[in-house]
Structure formats: structure tokens, C-alpha cells
């Protein structure tokens, strides 16, 4: 498994997001507090961001070196700032390659994607059409290629993520699909088999595998739920295996140092509403 986060809001440096937090990815990579499987994310890490003044463009830094051994990124992180950032550390699933191209974030040039989870490459490969081969033979790279394929047909990012998730689960019922994607204006995440939380701050929203500090305000996301966050607010949506992706879920607060696990499924109304701050 892995740890990842997405930030949308005021311009922040990568150093603020990766290193200044009391329990950010550098610490989570060694000693995660909520991670359920694979407790050391030593197989590399990556950062992706949307440069200021370049709408629709992505940049990234990836390596197969553990985040605590990389001597280049901390200095770079002080110089780079963005309003939308995705970060990830990786613990490779058994049988998956350990290489730079297997590390998130994956990109199609307009969106970024990370996976905290696993899926069967052999079972899910039939979903992939021609014309967009994965960057790596790893499961997360295949998932990214499937997402780019859906986006190329004109699907909106939340719709595309949920349709990929459903189709993969149809073929691989044991898949763990905590996905995190960003398009520069939104962060979209799924909780499907692993932990997820978020915090609304005065200047933006941080969505993450687990809390980045001991402060209040973190909200634990229930399983089979999607989070859609932008600068205007946060929306939680229940993800049924089939049927409309429309039921809105109520948030449930959770302290940052609780052990791994999920809160019980919370109730949701029969129909969803417009995007609103929670």
C-alpha cells in the first residue's frame, strides 16, 4: 500500500505540504498510523503540481528512492509553489516493479493520479483499449491508462473515476481502489478498501490517506465514498456498485491518532444536491 494526499486552495510550496506538516508524507512513509497493509513506503515517491499561470499543464517529480533518502527534492520543494498539488509515497505490491515509472503521480498532461491500493493487472487489462499504453507494467499505471481512456471520451473527472472503479471491481472483486486525482481545479478521491480523510482549512482543502498533524478538524471518510473538493467546498458521494452516483453522505469527525479502520457506514439522503461546503 501507499500514502498520498491532494491539496487544492491557496498557493503553497511543495515543502509546506510534504515536510512542514508534523506528520506529513516523510514521516508517514516510515511509520504510518492508519495504514493497513505494507507499513513502510520505501519504494519511491512523487509530487505532481499545476504550475502557476499555465492552465491545464502538469509537472511532476518522481523517483524510486525512498523519500527520506532523496537529497534533491527538499531543495526543489522550497522553490515550487502551486494551488493544486498531489503527493504520494509508495510501498510496491508483491510482484510489481520498483522503478521510477511505477511511481505516482501518473499524468496525461492535464490530470494527475495516484493509487493507494492494488488490483489484478491480468483481470483488468481487457478494459484497456488501444492507443494509450501504461507507463509501467504496475497495477497503478494500468489504472491511470484506464482513467485517461475515459477522460478522452469526454467524461468528467468524478464520473470517469467512478466508472473505472466499478468496471475494475466487476472483474476483480478483491481490488483495493483508493484513488486520488486532480485536474488543477478539483481534487477527487475514492475510499474503497483503505483509509481516507480530509480537512477544510481557511485557505483550501487537504485530502489524504491519514491526518498530517495532531490538530482538530480532520474528517474520516467512510468506505465506498468519493470526495470531490474544490476551492468552493467539499462534496461526499456514496459509490454503489451499480446505480446512480448521486447519494450524498454526511461527514463523520475522527481524531487524527485513532488506529486504522473505518467508521461505520453513515446514512445518506435519497438524492444529492449541489456542491456545498461541509
What is the edge-to-edge ordering of all strands in the sheet holding 176-182? Answer: 106-107, 112-118, 176-182, 187-191, 225-230, 233-238
Question: Which 3 state secondary structure label does DSSP give 8?
Answer: strand
Does 150 sit behind a cis peptide bond, omega within 30 degrees of 0 on the bond before it?
no
Report yes or no: 103 and 64 within 8 Å, Cβ to Cβ: yes
**What are the catalytic residues?**
2
Tracing cell 494509450 back to the chain, one arrives at 132
Residue 161 phi/psi, 5° resolution? -65, -45
Q: Give the C-alpha distances (Å, rounded to integers) separating 268 from 163, 223, 226, 251.
A: 21, 13, 13, 10
Burial of 173 (0-12, 13-18, 19+ CB in 10 A): exposed
Amino acid at each position: 500500500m501507499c500514502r498520498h494526499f491532494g491539496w487544492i486552495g491557496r498557493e503553497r510550496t511543495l515543502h509546506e505540504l510534504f515536510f512542514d506538516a508534523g506528520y506529513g508524507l516523510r514521516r508517514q512513509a516510515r511509520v504510518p498510523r492508519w495504514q493497513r497493509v505494507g507499513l513502510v513506503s520505501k519504494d519511491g515517491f512523487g509530487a505532481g503540481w499545476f504550475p502557476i499561470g499555465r492552465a491545464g499543464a502538469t509537472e511532476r517529480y518522481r523517483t524510486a528512492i525512498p523519500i527520506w533518502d532523496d537529497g534533491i527534492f527538499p531543495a526543489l520543494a522550497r522553490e515550487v509553489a502551486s494551488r493544486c498539488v498531489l503527493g504520494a509515497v509508495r510501498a510496491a505490491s508483491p510482484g510489481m516493479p520498483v522503478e521510477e515509472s511505477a511511481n505516482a503521480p501518473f499524468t496525461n498532461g492535464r490530470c494527475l493520479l495516484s493509487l493507494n491500493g492494488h488490483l489484478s493487472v491480468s483481470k483488468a487489462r481487457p478494459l484497456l483499449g488501444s492507443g494509450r499504453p501504461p507507463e509501467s507494467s504496475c497495477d497503478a499505471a494500468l489504472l491511470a491508462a484506464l482513467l485517461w481512456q475515459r477522460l478522452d471520451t469526454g467524461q468528467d473527472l468524478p464520473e470517469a473515476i467512478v466508472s473505472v472503479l466499478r468496471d475494475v471491481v466487476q472483474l476483480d472483486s478483491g481490488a483495493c481502489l483508493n484513488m486520488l486525482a486532480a485536474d488543477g481545479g478539483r481534487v477527487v478521491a475514492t475510499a474503497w478498501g483503505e483509509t481516507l480523510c480530509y480537512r477544510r482549512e481557511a485557505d483550501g482543502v487537504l485530502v489524504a490517506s491519514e491526518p498530517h498533524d495532531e490538530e482538530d478538524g480532520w474528517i474520516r471518510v467512510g468506505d465506498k465514498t468519493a470526495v470531490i473538493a474544490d476551492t468552493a467546498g467539499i462534496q461526499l458521494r456514496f459509490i454503489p456498485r451499480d446505480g446512480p452516483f448521486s447519494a450524498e453522505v454526511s461527514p463523520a469527525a475522527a481524531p487524527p491518532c485513532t488506529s486504522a479502520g473505518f467508521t461505520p457506514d453513515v446514512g445518506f439522503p435519497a438524492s444529492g444536491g449541489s456542491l456545498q461546503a461541509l
